[in-house]
């Protein structure tokens, strides 16, 4: 049975600059070896595998690509990213979703996970981030 999990949300409108950190402001659930907050991120204290899922509803003040990426200790986690294109500023809403698995090695813990906006500046309408310890 999976008992280690954290589920966080941001439900108030937030402006996030290009290359800015996505704010995670509200803990919905938190259990055991996962700690929040750590500079708008999650601290994983236990070695093993973690399932991560992020969902973000955004618009942008300018046209361009919105890219949201998970970072592990400040480095992009391979393949855990989502990109959508905004063609008309301030009128289009896009939903970006990423999911994947993060490994924390036995000598690597603790590890900090954060989420960064690598595309154009955005207005974040809603964000959810779920981290679940697998084994």
51 vs 1, more confident:
51
Q: What is the dihedral of CA 96, 14, 38, 20, to 10 degrees?
A: 70
Residue 135 CA to residue 132 CA, distance in Å, equals: 9
pLDDT, position 42: 84
State the Cα torsion 37-65-78-117 to the nearest 10°.
-20
pLDDT at residue 102 above 50? Answer: yes
Alpha-carbon separation of residue 14 from 42, 47, 56, 78 (angstroms): 19, 33, 12, 26
Least confident of 7-16, 26-35, 53-62, 114-123: 26-35
pLDDT at 104 over 70: yes
pLDDT tier, 1 (very low <50, low <70, confident <90, very high otherwise):
very low
Residue-level pLDDT at 12: 85
End-to-end alpha-carbon separation of the chain, Å? 10
29 has pLDDT over 80 = no
Q: Residue 89 CA to chain centroid, in angstroms?
A: 23
Residue whose structure tokens are 């009128």: 91
CB distance 22 to 68 below 8 Å: yes
pTM for the full model?
Answer: 0.88
CA distance 87 to 28: 33
Indicate the fold that domain 5-133 takes in CATH. Jelly Rolls (2.60.120)
pLDDT computed for residue 77 by the predictor: 96
Mean pLDDT computed over every residue of the chain = 87
């Amino acid at each position: 049975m999976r008992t280690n999990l954290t589920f966080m949300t941001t439900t108030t409108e937030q402006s996030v600059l290009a290359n800015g950190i996505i704010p995670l402001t509200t803990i919905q659930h938190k259990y055991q070896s996962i700690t929040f907050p750590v500079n708008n991120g999650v601290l994983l204290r236990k070695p093993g595998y973690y399932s991560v899922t992020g969902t973000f509803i955004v618009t942008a003040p300018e046209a361009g690509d919105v890219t949201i990426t998970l970072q592990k200790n400040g480095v992009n986690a391979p393949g855990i990213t989502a990109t959508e294109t905004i063609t008309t500023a301030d009128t289009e809403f896009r939903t970006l979703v990423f999911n994947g698995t993060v490994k924390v090695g036995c000598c690597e813990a603790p590890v900090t996970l954060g989420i960064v906006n690598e595309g154009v500046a955005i207005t974040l309408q809603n964000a959810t981030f779920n981290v679940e310890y697998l084994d």
